[in-house]
Amino acid sequence: MPSAIENPIKKRIVVLISGTGSNMLNIAEHCQDNKINGDVVAVIANRADAAGLAKAAELGIATEFVPHTSFADREDYDQALVERVQSYQPDLIILAGFMRVLTPVFVSAFADRIMNIHPSLLPKYKGMHTHQRALDAGDEEHGVSVHFVTEELDGGPVILQSRVPIFPEDTAEDLQERVHEQEYRIYPLVIRWFCADRLKLTEEGAVLDGATLGEQGYAPE
């Protein structure tokens, strides 16, 4: 029988999505394969047509649809979302292609345990359409960032980034595909750190193994 040290209590993870959910699936599979000391206990979408909901259900994960269109304003929606998320008693909330800006109502309810993956090398290109913006700017590289979610949109402390080259003939779709490959590597890695109690959000920023991370997150140098 595994000892308590080898098998500490698994972290409870709730994933918020709006669409395909390929990052969500990748994370759920890492959990099921015991590569992350956690379980995806629920997947919640704000859109009924989020394909990820059916995929999560196939894996035996609880799914919910909380439509933002049913609420008068963002705060009311966020309050409803807080209640649904809270019902799963999560240790960690993962945004994975979740396309609604969260107000302080949500962020303050789960302060220091919400993460997002954003398809740019933050602090560059906060917000939407990041691949096209990198192309339009003539950038030679692009990438993706995992960061803690704070009240400042795409502005919370960066934990880890991955870079990809931009080639002259690239379309936004090419770039998105190249970035996606990196997302599948770095998001599970960061979640593994968090679930092993190695990673925290503090007043100083993101802290990994006791060291405060810089503006671009963990860098192995």
Catalogue the active-site residues: 118
CA distance 146 to 86: 23
163-167, long-range: CB < 8 A, 24+ apart: 163/121, 165/140, 165/141, 166/134, 166/135, 166/139, 166/140, 166/141, 166/142
CA distance 60 to 180: 25
Total residues binding ligand NHR (CB under 6 A):
16
Residue closer to ligand NHR by CB (options 7, 108) is: 108
Q: 50 in helix, strand or coil?
A: coil
Contacts (CB under 6 A) with ligand NHR, residues 121-140: 127-128
Contacts (CB under 6 A) with ligand GAR, residues 96-155: 96-97, 99, 117-119, 128
CA angle 193, 28, 219 (to 5 degrees): 30
Contacts (CB under 6 A) with ligand NHR, residues 83-122: 95, 98-102, 107, 116, 118
Binding site for ligand GAR (CB under 6 A): 17, 19-24, 96-97, 99, 117-119, 128, 180, 183
Chain positions contacting ligand NHR, by CB under 6 A: 95, 98-102, 107, 116, 118, 127-128, 149, 151, 153-154, 156
